[in-house]
Amino acid sequence: MLDDLVRNLRVAYARLWVRVKGGNREPEWLIFDMFLPIFTLSAYVYLYKMLGVGAEFAGFVVIGGTMLAFWTNVLWNMSAQFYWEKETGTLEAYLVAPISRMAILLGMALGGFVNTTLRAVAILTVGSLIFQVPIALNEPFTALLIFFLTIAALYSLGMLFASLFLLYGREAWHTASLLQEPVQFISGSFYPVRYLPTLLQLLASLVPLTFGLDGIRRTAISGEGIAQVWPHVIALIVFTLILLPLAKLALNFMENLGKKEGRLTLRWQ
């Protein structure tokens, strides 16, 4: 039992290490990832300036851009990872090893988080300085709590998607493409969700990123505290508590289905 736990912790650390080492080995990518998103942010900030809607909107945009880095990482570098690992035969090596698949996913999530944090901090710092974002951070711990709960919920969602990619590689690839922009739109990445029609707001409440973005903006830009954002905290905890076990169930289900149908290690499917 203890042996299994130690082995799985080693696996999670090793997978994290691979991700961090691999992700930062070619520094030019780091530069692209850090600075290219600033162009998208600039477009929105200048649009809001032109409309004269107030300086806090620049803050909304910068925080939205920062958190989008995590969403993109979850969608492409977390969910899609098993697809690539199936292609190279690495997935087969995982499946033959005496390890929990969740340990691999945990390592991928933590590694992805570390890598993306480097990029996100750069976006946040550069964006805040360039656009003179007005910060009103009265409860930094509340803001951090919401940030980490958002990350936990997002990467739990990533683990769930990864289990889908385990079996439905190419189809899930398209699903990821389909999710990218709609989630970006619905979660209010570059504007407050309250401006969306009610029906879309309801839909937005199914996405953890919506609560995360709104909570961080309220605590970092609008100066609100736990008294105002406690529903966000609860919503994000509930998301994580649902998504994480669901990911484990889906992973087991997909692995068994793959073994039954013989599609687990077949490439190009």
Is position 199 an interface residue for another protein (rule: CB under 8 A)?
no
Contact range with another protein by CB under 8 A, out of 52-60, 64-72, 154-162, 253-261: 253-261
User: Of residues 90-109, which lie at the interface with another protein (CB under 8 A)?
Assistant: 90, 92-99
Residue 184 to residue 37: CA distance in whole angstroms: 14
**For the CA atoms of 158, 163, 169, 172, what is the dihedral angle to 10 degrees?**
-50
DSSP 266: -
Of 3-11, 39-47, 64-72, 212-220, the window that binds another protein (rule: CB under 8 A) is: 3-11
Note whether 260 binds another protein by CB under 8 A. yes
Residue 17 sits in the site that holds another protein (CB under 8 A) = yes
C-beta closer to another protein: residue 109 or 204 = 109
Residue 2 CB, shortest distance to another protein, in Å, is 11
Contact between 262 and another protein by CB under 8 A: the answer reads yes
The 73-92 contact track toward another protein, x by CB under 8 A, reads: ---------------xxx-x
50-59 contacts, C-beta under 8 A, 24 or more apart: 55/132, 55/133, 55/134, 56/134, 56/221, 56/222, 57/191, 58/131, 58/132, 58/133, 58/134, 59/128, 59/133, 59/134, 59/135, 59/217, 59/220, 59/221
Give the SS3 label for residue 26.
coil
56 belongs to the binding site for another protein (CB under 8 A): no
18 interacts with another protein by CB under 8 A? yes
- Say whether residue 25 binds another protein (CB under 8 A): yes
Q: CA nearest 143: which of 267, 28, 232?
A: 232
Choice between 174 and 259, CB closer to another protein: 259
Nearest by Cα to 77 from 41, 103, 116, 38: 116
Q: How far is the CB of 162 from another protein (least distance, A)?
A: 17
Residue in 13, 76, 185, 191 binding another protein, rule: CB under 8 A: 13
Read off φ and ψ for residue 253, nearest 5 degrees.
-65, -45
Residues in contact with another protein by CB under 8 A are 3, 6-7, 10-11, 13-15, 17-18, 21-22, 25-26, 88-90, 92-99, 256, 259-260, 262, 264-265
